[in-house]
Amino acid sequence: MNLLDSSLHPHPKALSFVFVFLALNNNTIIMTLESYAGDVHTVPQSENSTEERGGGELFVPPLNFAMVDNGIFRSGFPEPVSFSFLQSLRLRSIIYLCPEAYPEVNREFAKSNGIQVFQFGIERCKEPFVNIPDEVIREALQVLLDTKNHPVLIHCKSGKHRTGCLVGCVRKIQRWCLSSIFDEYQRFAAAKARISDQRFMELFDISNLKHSPLSFSCSKRHTHNDY
């Protein structure tokens, strides 16, 4: 696999959006990409925000969008207004963590852009002592950790709990300490953070996973030796 092959990586300007959205702490905004200067402007989102400014293209990321690592992104459910933004990421795969059938408009978007959709149906559960199924997360990880599927977007409905648990298990493989894993989870879940999710991530056994994301940029960060 040639890591220098530009076809395998998101558009460079798309990555600039990723870091801007991380910095803005997931506020709901619309980004306008200037064709030459590369300047990024923000305008409040409204129901009728469809205009273009300065000849640029409006990019609207999905709810709770963020970059997890090189070639891995996370978000809430992508609405059609976000399709142009997702196109700029040059996705190869989508990992969908809900049991409901994928909407036809999303399925058509994926098909027309050569994106493979992997569905791992995890029921939405608000019970305090009901865990996410271990075996389903393991199946999703096998897909997620296979770089042939990158760039990949992970999403559920809100991008908080199911997505947060899968990302948390990736962080365990990357040897992040639990406090950093929980901090990241809570940044997205906020007031809706669940003890059961955090317990699941803490107890998840990574010893028998076949793939190891040694090439991930964050694999040497937030380790136990840093604390």
Q: Would you please indicate which residues are annotated as catalytic (active-site) residues?
A: 156
Q: In what order do the strands lie in the sheet with 29-33?
A: 40-44, 29-33, 57-59
Is the backbone peptide bond immediately before 151 cis, with ω within 30 degrees of 0?
Answer: yes
pLDDT at residue number 207: 86
- Helical packing angle, 162-173 and 178-189, nearest 10°: 160
Bridge partners (DSSP) of residue 72 are: 69, 152
Domain extent listing, the chain: 62-226
Record the pTM: 0.71
User: Between helices 195-203 and 162-173, what is the axis angle to 10°?
Assistant: 30
How do the pLDDT tens digits run along the chain, 227 residues long?
444 444 455 554 555 444 444 444 444 333 333 332 333 333 333 333 333 434 566 889 999 999 999 999 999 999 999 999 999 999 999 999 999 999 999 999 999 999 999 999 888 766 655 567 899 999 999 999 999 999 999 999 999 999 999 999 999 999 999 999 999 999 999 888 889 999 999 999 998 876 555 445 544 444 444 43
Tell me if residue 29 falls in helix, strand or coil: strand
Alpha carbons 57 and 33: distance in angstroms, whole number: 6
Return the pLDDT at 123. Answer: 83
DSSP string, 67-90: EEETTEEEESPPPGGGHHHHHHTT
Please tell me what DSSP assigns to residue 223.
B
Fold topology of 62-226: Protein-Tyrosine Phosphatase; Chain A (3.90.190)
Tokens of 74: 């996370």
